[in-house]
Structure 1
Amino acid sequence: MGLSKGSDSAHSSTEPQETGTEAALPTKRLRKPRIVLEGSIEDILARNNSPADPAYVDKLSARAGKSWHDFYKNHAATPFFKDRHWTDREWPELARLDENAQAGQDGDDDVPVARKGQGKAVLEVGCGTGAFIYPLLERYPSARFVAFDFAKKAVELTQSHVSHDPSHCHVFQHDLTAPIDDLRNKLDNAPPSFGTPIHSFDIISCVFVLSALPPEKQARAVETLVSLLALGGSLLFRDYALHDAAQLRFHSLPSASYAANPSLLSERFYRRGDNTFTFFFTPEDIETYIASAVAAINVDRSARGEADIEVEGKVEVVEREMQNRAEGWGCTRRFVHGSWRRMR
C-alpha cells in the first residue's frame, strides 16, 4: 500500500476524512513521489526507530501551544477543515439530544440545570473549528454547547463560525491537562446570554484530541473528562490506533529534516512536520485510563462523603480502507473508537 508524500508529516489533515475515497491531485500540478509502505508491520516499524533526544522533546512540548496556533493560522484560509457530519452515524448516543433536558437543582454538579428553551448540554474538547458542535446545533437547536481548544487561533475560528450563537455556545481557550479548578472557573465565565453555567454534560466529545497530548499528560485529561459527565451522560471517543497507516508512514523513508530531528519522540509518540504531536493507542490503553479515572474520582468523592460513580462502555479498533483510484493507491486507517455512559 502507499501514501502520497506531501511533507514529513504523517498526514495532511488534523484527521482522516470519512469519505472512503481521496480526491485525485489536479493534473496541472506535479505529483510528489509516494512513500510505499512495503513489508510487514514489524519490518516497517523497525526502520527509522531511533527516538529524538529528550531535551528536544521538552522543547517541542513547551512550544505546543504556538505550534497548534500556527497550524490553524496557516490553514484558516484554505478548504482544509470539514464539519463532522458523520458523528450521528458513529454514536447513536447523540440521538438523546432530541430528548427534553433533565431538570436539576442549582448547585448540583451531577445534573445540568435546565432552563426554559434550553436542552441538553454538550462539551467538545479540542474543538478546532467547531467541526463537532455546529452540525449538531443545526440538528438539535435546543441543545447548549461548550467548546474549548488549546490553540488561540482555533478558538477564534470557532467563534467566527457562521453558526456561532452566544446564547447556545460558550467557547474559550483552555488546556485540557490543566487542573480541573481552572476549567470550572472558565465554565462559570459564560456569556450572559448563555444562561446558567454548565458544570456537567450529557455528551462529551474527545475526537482526535488525546493523541495530541504527551503520554504523561493523557491520564489527567481523561480523569477531567470523566469527572464532567452528568448522570446518564456519555463520553464519545475516537483517536488513532496502533499500526494505523499514519504511524507506519513515520517509519518510511525520512525527509531531510528527519535526519536532524527524528519524528519518533518516544514509544508510539511522534512529531508531525508542523511540530504538533500524535500518539497511537490500543483499546487497552483507553480502558486503563477510564478505569483509573473512575477510581481516582471515587477516592475524592468518598473523602467528601459522596457516593461512587460508575461508568459502562466499550472501546474497539475500527478500520477504514482509504483509496485513491486515480493514482492507484490505498491504505488502511485504524482508529480506537468507543463510548462510555455514567450509570450512577
Structure 2
Amino acid sequence: MCSQAEVRMSSCDGQTKTSAARVLTQEELDRLGGERTLVSDFKQMKLENEAQKNWDLFYKRNTTNFFKDRHWTTREFEELKACREFESQKLVILEAGCGVGNCIFPLLEEDLNIFVYACDFSPRAVEFVKQNPLYCPERCCAFQCDLTKDDLMENVPEGSVDVVTLIFVLSAVHPDKMKLVLENINKVLKPGGIILFRDYGLYDHAMLRFKSGSKLGENFYVRQDGTRSYFFSREFLAELFEETGFQSIANDYVLRETVNKKEGLCVPRVFLQSKFTKPGQPQSS
C-alpha cells in the first residue's frame, strides 16, 4: 500500500494513480529474485531478427479479436480535446503502433475534427485497419512502419502532428532501441505537441507470471509466442524521454485490480501513464 502523500489521484473506476512503485510481497520478491539466468545471446538475436514475423503471426492467430476497443482513451487523456485552440480546430494525431485500430476507430467515431496517421510494425495489422468499414482515407492514413529504423517523415510531414499516442507499444521494443523510436517521433511532432503514453508498469502481474527461461534482461521478458514485453519504472521512462528532448508533464503508475473469474483470482495490474511535451511554442494556425 502507498501512503496518502504518495497517492495523487484515485478515480471512481477502482484505479489509483501514484508516484510510488507497487510494494511486492515476500513471495513475489522471492519469485523475481530466483530468476537470474538470461536467455542466450543467440536466441535473443533470433527474437530481435524475427520480431516483425512474431507480431504478424500474433495478428494472424488473433485477427481483430484480441484487444478490446479503447473507449477509455479520451477519458484518461483529456489532451485529445483540451489542446485545441478553438473547438472546430482539426487535430492531427499519430497513433504509433496502431495494431488493428482499437484506439483510432473509437476516436474517429467520437470526434469528427481529427485526422489520424496510424502505423504498425505488422503489415497484417495495417491491412486489418484498412479493411475496417470505418477506415476513410480522408480522415485516416495507415501505413506499415518499423519505428526503430523507418523514417516517419516518409508518410507524415515534419512537425505536423499535434498529439502522438504511444499505448502499449514501446514495451514491445528492445530497450536499446527505444530512443530511436522517440527520436523518430520527435521529428513529426509540432513544438508544444504532446505524447500520451500508457504501457506496462514495473511489477505488473504479467511480469510476475513469466516462467523460468523467459528473462531477456532487466524488466524485459519474452512470451511463449516470441513477442517481448518490457515493464517500465517511472525513473527509466522519464530519463528515456528527457534524453531524447522531451519534457515531462505527468508520469504516474496506475494501480488497479483485475478479477480472473475462471481462476477465482484478484490480480494486481500496474501500468505507467504519462504525458510528455516537445519544448517550444505551438505554431499558429
What TM-score, normalized by structure 1, do the two folds share? 0.70
The residue type equivalent to 1:320 in the other structure is R
Give matches, 1:1-344, under 5 Å.
Answer: 39-76=26-63, 79-96=65-82, 100=86, 119-178=90-149, 182-187=151-156, 199-251=159-211, 262-294=213-245, 311-325=247-261, 327-344=263-280
CA drift at 1:46? 2.1
CA drift at 1:222? 1.7
The residue type equivalent to 2:128 in the other structure is L
Higher strand share: 2
CA drift at 1:186? 2.6
Distance in 1 separating the partners of 2:40 and 2:168: 26
The residue type equivalent to 1:153 in the other structure is R
CA drift at 1:223? 2.1
The count of corresponding residues between Structure 1 and Structure 2 is 259
Q: Which runs of 5+ in 2 are unaligned?
A: 1-12, 15-23, 281-285
Distance in 1 separating the partners of 2:35 and 2:235: 26
Distance in 1 separating the partners of 2:186 and 2:72: 24
The residue type equivalent to 1:221 in the other structure is V
The residue type equivalent to 2:82 in the other structure is R
Distance in 2 separating the partners of 1:244 and 1:49: 19
CA drift at 1:327? 4.1
Encode CA deviations 1:79-121: one digit per residue, 9 max, x unaligned: 32211100111111111376548xxxxxxxxxxxxxxx98110
The question of whether the paired residues in 1 share the 8 Å contact of 2:158 and 2:187 is answered with no
Distance in 1 separating the partners of 2:70 and 2:83: 16
For the pair shown, which has the larger CA radius of gyration, 1 or 2?
Answer: 1
Distance in 2 separating the partners of 1:145 and 1:72: 21
The question of whether the paired residues in 2 share the 8 Å contact of 1:100 and 1:120 is answered with no
CA drift at 1:226? 3.0
Encode CA deviations 1:230-275: one digit per residue, 9 max, x unaligned: 1332100011111111011014xx5xxxxxxx21112211111110
Q: 4+ residue runs of structure 1 moved beyond 4 angstroms?
A: 97-101
Q: The residue matched to 2:257 in structure 1 has which SS?
A: strand
Q: The residue matched to 1:286 in structure 2 has which SS?
A: helix
CA drift at 1:276? 0.5
Give the % identical residues.
37
Distance in 2 separating the partners of 1:46 and 1:278: 18
The residue type equivalent to 1:170 in the other structure is C
Q: Which runs of 5+ in 1 are unaligned?
A: 1-18, 21-36, 102-116, 188-196, 255-261, 295-309
The question of whether the paired residues in 1 share the 8 Å contact of 2:260 and 2:267 is answered with no
Match of 1:192 in 2: none
